């Protein structure tokens, strides 16, 4: 019998952040004032598409090269040390990641967990949700579709 947490060669599969729907993520943020909501989309998405109110912007992949931000984990650690810190006596403050549709936030969350951070969540529907049959977003799910607070620059 194989362990679902390992691959066939016996290596551990990467841990995944806990998935939250937009409403559950918003509730967690309301109940835990030390929690940090991090919008990991590109700068263009964050500024022009809109973002959740109160979100901190730390891109996972950004222009001009569209590669993974090599400072991502360090930047998240700085956020935690800047007020929502992890202490030896207690758990890390919750970090909730959000992207467009939940795919990048899942990968970014895995990277944070692999780097030793805990209490990592991701919004499984993202900010805009999946594409509908007409290739439109924000019609099937996502933070904005669910009517949660957001703003645009």
Residue pLDDT, tens place only, 39-57: 999 999 999 999 999 999 9
The answer to whether residue 13 sits within a structural domain is: no
The answer to whether residue 130 sits within a structural domain is: yes
- pLDDT exceeds 60 at position 97: yes
Nearby residues of 83 by Cβ (< 8 Å), 6 or more positions away: 34
Among 25-34, 79-88, 94-103, 122-131, the range scoring the smallest mean pLDDT is 79-88
The answer to whether residue 128 sits within a structural domain is: yes
The answer to whether residue 6 sits within a structural domain is: no
The answer to whether residue 119 sits within a structural domain is: yes
The answer to whether residue 102 sits within a structural domain is: yes
pLDDT of residue 12: 63
pLDDT of residue 89: 53
What is the mean predicted confidence (pLDDT) over 18-22? Answer: 98
The number of folded domains in the chain is 1
User: pTM of this prediction?
Assistant: 0.87
Q: Which domain holds residue 48?
A: 18-151
Nearby residues of 37 by Cβ (< 8 Å), 6 or more positions away: 25, 29, 52, 54, 55, 56, 96, 98
- CATH code of the domain covering residue 50: 3.40.250.10
The answer to whether residue 9 sits within a structural domain is: no
CB 24 within 8 A of CB 98: no
- pLDDT exceeds 70 at position 5: no
């Amino acid at each position: 019998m194989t362990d679902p947490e390992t691959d066939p060669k016996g290596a551990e599969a990467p841990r995944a952040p806990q998935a939250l729907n937009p409403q559950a993520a918003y509730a967690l943020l309301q109940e835990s004032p030390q929690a940090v909501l991090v919008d990991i989309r590109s700068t263009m998405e964050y500024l022009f598409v809109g973002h959740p109110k109160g979100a901190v912007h730390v891109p996972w992949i950004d222009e001009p090269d569209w590669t993974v931000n090599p400072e991502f984990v360090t930047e998240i650690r700085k956020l935690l040390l800047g007020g929502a810190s992890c202490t030896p006596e207690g758990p890390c403050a919750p970090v909730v990641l959000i992207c467009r549709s939940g795919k990048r936030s899942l990968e970014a969350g895995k990277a944070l967990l692999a780097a030793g951070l805990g209490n990592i969540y991701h919004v499984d529907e993202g900010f805009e949700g999946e594409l509908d049959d007409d290739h439109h977003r924000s019609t099937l799910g996502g933070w904005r579709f669910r009517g949660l607070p957001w703003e645009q620059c």
